[in-house]
Amino acid sequence: MTTQQAGQLVCVGTGMRMAGQLTPISKSYIETFDVVIAAVPNIFTRQWLQEIAKDFICLNGHYEETKIEGKTRRDTYRRMADTILTEVRAGKRVCAAFYGHPGIFACISHMAIADARKEGFSAHMEPGISALDCLVADLGMDPGTRGMQSMEATQFMIYQRTIDPSAMFIVWQIGIAGDLTMKRFDTEPAHLQIITDKLAKTYSLDHEVILYEAATHPLEQIRADRIKLRDLPRTPLKQYTTLVIPAEKELQLDQAVIDQLNALHASRAA
């Protein structure tokens, strides 16, 4: 049986729009724990965290390591997780803060929690408001209406995946689509043409898609550009742009299952 160690880790999300989307319990951890270690891109959010935290460590500088020969984003994420664990091993109560939801497209938090628990430390995650939550609210698209599929862009490109065109399809990180080096933070038209061609096996090139970017502060406007699928390779993207593909085909009834359900209902009513 593993002995419980003195250090503690909780991973929280700051939401997409600065402190306004922070849950009360996450804010409490940020204010009361010994040190806050943050991986958030918004400078204003970082400044706010630094002001209310007892001690503050920013992880963003680790991204510079991708410029070193032989180093990739995977190495950067490992270093970030190790930085968090160093403070936990020192017996501190550590709050690791990530923008959005700390467990969605945030492998650092999952690595850090797994490592901490393996070493006998208390570690858990608190949910946060993610880009998906903002997307549903901003675009008014309910995943429960038609269903939803969700994949990372490069993963979709390099694996054989089956798309359901009668459901909404969300393609994350379209802004770095096709990067196999794990070093780039952008993409190029040639890569976007490849993913467009693959999507065209399921959707018509005239199908309207949405390029979405959540607002990160109260004065910022969301991006919700509607374009034809064929125009994707020539459209400017950012690292955090999300491709939203609305359903193109109608839902098809499964009459055999409907008959089974009706027969079951009839037998119970008899």
The catalytic residue positions are 73, 77, 99
- CB under 8 A, 24+ apart: contacts of 142-150: 143/168, 146/247, 146/251
Name the H helices within 33-130: 43-52, 73-89, 107-118
Q: Is 61 exposed, middle or buried, given 0-12, 13-18 or 19+ CB atoms closer than 10 A?
A: exposed
Contact 251, 147 (CB under 8 A): no
**Residue 216 to residue 129: CA distance in whole angstroms:** 12
Find where tokens 């630094």 sit. Answer: 50
**Residue 94 to residue 218: CA distance in whole angstroms:** 29
- Residue 228, beta-bridge partner list: 208
